[in-house]
Amino acid sequence: MAYFDAASAAPLHPVARQALLAALDDGWADPARLYREGRKARMLLDAAREAAAEAVGCRADELVFTSSGTRAVHTGVAGALAGRRRVGRHLIVSAVEHSSVLHSADLFEAEGGSVSRVPVHRTGAVSPSGYTDALRADTALAVLQSANHEVGTAQPVAEVAEVCRAAGVPLLVDAAQSLGWGPVGGGWSLLAASAHKWGGPSGVGLLVVRKGVRFAAQGPADERESGRAPGFENIPAVVAAVASLRAVRAEAAREAVRLRELTERIRARVPRLVPDVEVVGDPERRLPGIVTFSCLYVDGETLLHELDREGFAVSSGSSCTSGTLTPSHVLKAMGVLSEGNVRVSLPPGTAAEDVERFLAVLPGVVAGVRDNLGAPAPVTVAEPGVLVVDALGKRCPIPVIELARVFPGVPVGGTVRVLSDDEAARLDIPAWCEMRGQEYAGEEPAEEGTAYLVRRLS
């Protein structure tokens, strides 16, 4: 099996495995105790904290270990908002943040706070001016990921941090995807990350709160981890997480060059090998190992299953995967095609031969899925100058398939009115128009569902 889903979880690094096994013998005792075994555990924990702080670029007493990256985000957001409650109850996030950030924002909003969600360009990047425009006198905290987890686009963290610093607002950076590749630059105030993203064991996150940032930990008081991460520390896992972070950092420069070349092969060749494909994400400012593309007229879940049968583990943000009827919030915010979405995220050490085999297999897999989809013939109703396509009750990607099937018969200047109650159509029909050079004329209410208007230009 070629594992191409490192953005979800990277394979355990060999150094992490070795460190974990070694720490199981010496790191099992309570590090708060003064007897010999407790002192040994404390030494391991302190050494891990020092090494992690060096990798992040912060002081050791600014960094705590948490039970996950998600817990680090939740703790960081809640603590910073509570610490600055007197300033106000306003939070800024980008529209493409990880779900852990968005869930924190939703909870804050439900409790009476206000949230501004900064939009992104079609590449998935925010503009620093978007944060400038969102800042208010009562802004307590801003949040921005260092790089996007679905499309790999790197965010302008340093520029946004400067905007926030000038306004006296702390910036929390979710560095889960990028920390294994290098420290996050800029004047950020808080940072969260997750060990299983860089080849450490799952169940270890880290949270950094810079000195001078007002922070009030929420929940019952606890004497461990500066009161910010309650519970007994999993010292063997922490040691393994930090050992793997140091190891991948030592390999990062060489691996980044190699993985960028492999992902560039995919970005360049997939559109030539497979018709009707949109490669998404910023082509330049991006993480080394992630490339994402979407295929028209393809059921995303079926595509992933077929690739799995061929020996490839990939991920998807399509609406017709993982039991959801709505496309990825990242793809929606970017305004790109969500049908047949495939995220390839290569772990360090990926063989070039595996990438070549993926490129050899993909065209046949996509063609097979398209052939076997069995899209029903559309029901059309003639109106003066308008062709109505009834796709009500049909899910991604059927509405777009039916639009494409009738479009050749529409005269130049004519309009197609697609009726659909599938949320993905709101994203995929405009994306189809952009790919085809046709005019998307908007949407309007219909007796059932929504009517999407497409005008033929050529």
Query: What DSSP assignment string belongs to 45-103?
Result: HHHHHHHHHHHHTS-GGGEEEES-HHHHHHHHHHHHHHHTTTT-SEEEEETT--HHHHH
pLDDT, tens only, 125-166: 999 999 999 999 999 999 999 999 999 999 999 999 999 999
pLDDT tens track for 342-365: 999 999 999 999 999 999 999 999
Average pLDDT over residues 356-382: 77
User: Can you tell me the distance from the alpha carbon of 65 to that of 204, in angstroms, rounded to the nearest whole number?
Assistant: 7
Q: Which residues are catalytic?
A: 320
Model confidence at 300: pLDDT above 90: no
Q: Is the pLDDT of residue 378 over 80?
A: no
Cα angle 420-426-431, degrees, rounded to a multiple of 5: 120
CA atoms within 13 A on the CB side of 270: 25
Residue 254 has pLDDT above 70, yes or no: yes
Number of H helices, E strands in the chain: 12, 17
Q: Residue 309: is its pLDDT beyond 90?
A: yes
Q: What is the mean pLDDT of residues 442-448?
A: 89
Mean residue pLDDT across the chain: 92
Q: How far apart are CA 281 and CA 341, in angstroms?
A: 12
pTM higher than 0.75, yes or no? yes
- In the prediction, which pLDDT does 375 show? 41
Q: CA-to-CA distance for 374 and 112, rounded, in angstroms?
A: 48
DSSP 389-409: EE-TT--TTHHHHHHHHHGGG
What is the DSSP-derived secondary structure letter of residue 11? P
pLDDT for res 385: 67
Q: Does residue 324 register a pLDDT over 70?
A: no
Express each pLDDT in 67-114 by its tens digit.
Answer: 999 999 999 999 999 999 999 999 999 999 999 999 999 999 999 999
Q: What is the pLDDT of residues 202-238, one digit of tens each?
A: 999 999 999 999 999 998 877 788 878 888 899 999 9
Q: How far from each other are the two terminal CA atoms of the chain, in whole angstroms? A: 45
Q: State yes or no: pLDDT of 320 exceeds 80.
A: no
Instruction: Give me the pLDDT at residue 229, please.
Output: 86
Dihedral (Cα; 389, 395, 401, 404), 10-degree rounding: 40
Residue type, 95: A
